[in-house]
Structure 1
Amino acid sequence: MKIFDLTHTLTNDMPVYSKPNGPHIKKVATIEANGYEETFLSMFSHNGTHIDSTKHMDKNGETLDDLDIDKFVGNAILIDVTNKEKIELEYLKEYEEKIQNCDFIIFKSGWSEYWGEEKYYEKYPTLTIQAATYIAQTPIKGIGMDMLSVDGYDSVDFNIHKILFKGKKLIVENLTNLKALPSEFLFVATPLKFNNADGSPVRAIGIVK
Structure 2
Amino acid sequence: MNDISSKKIVDLTMLIDEEMTGVAITSAKNLAKDGWNASTLHLYSHSGTHMDAPIHFEVTKQTIEQIDANRLISEAWILDLTHLKPKALIGVKEMQPIEQKIKKGESILLHTGWSKKTNTEAYRNDLPRISADLAVWMGKKGVNIIGVESPSIADVNNIEEVTEIHTILMRNNVIIVEGLTNLEQLSKEKITLIAAPLKVKDGDGAPARVLALE
Does TM, normalized by the shorter one, top 0.5? yes
Q: How far off its partner does 1:101 sit?
A: 5.1
Q: Does residue 1:199 correspond to 2:202, yes or no? A: no
Q: How does 1:47-126 map to 2 (within 5 A)?
A: 47-84=47-84, 85-100=88-103, 103-126=106-129
Opposite residue 149 of structure 1, the aligned amino acid is: S
Q: Which residue of 1 aligns with 2:150?
A: 147
Kindly indicate whether the alpha-carbon contact (under 8 Å) linking 1:104 and 1:142 is maintained by their aligned counterparts in 2: yes
Kindly indicate whether the alpha-carbon contact (under 8 Å) linking 1:74 and 1:186 is maintained by their aligned counterparts in 2: yes
Kindly indicate whether the alpha-carbon contact (under 8 Å) linking 2:135 and 2:165 is maintained by their aligned counterparts in 1: yes
Give the gaps of 5 or more residues in structure 1. Answer: 17-21
CA distance in 2, matches of 1:103, 1:25: 36
Q: How far off its partner does 1:124 sit?
A: 1.8
Equivalent residue in structure 2 for 1:183, among 182, 189, 195 = 189
SS in 1 for 2:159: coil
Equivalent residue in structure 2 for 1:2, among 1, 8, 13 = 8
Kindly indicate whether the alpha-carbon contact (under 8 Å) linking 1:54 and 1:169 is maintained by their aligned counterparts in 2: no
RMSD: 1.5
Q: How far off its partner does 1:129 sit?
A: 1.4
CA distance in 2, matches of 1:96, 1:173: 22
Give the gaps of 5 or more residues in structure 2. Answer: 1-6
Q: Which runs of 4+ in 1 moved over 3 A?
A: none
Q: Which residue of 2 aligns with 1:167?
A: 172
Q: Which residue of 2 aligns with 1:34?
A: 34
CA distance in 1, matches of 2:158, 2:39: 35
CA distance in 1, matches of 2:132, 2:143: 18
Pair 1:177–1:185, CA change in 2 (3 A):
same
Kindly indicate whether the alpha-carbon contact (under 8 Å) linking 1:147 and 1:173 is maintained by their aligned counterparts in 2: yes
SS in 1 for 2:137: helix
Structure 1, residues 186-206: CA drift from partner, whole Å, max 9, x if none? Answer: 111111112112211001110
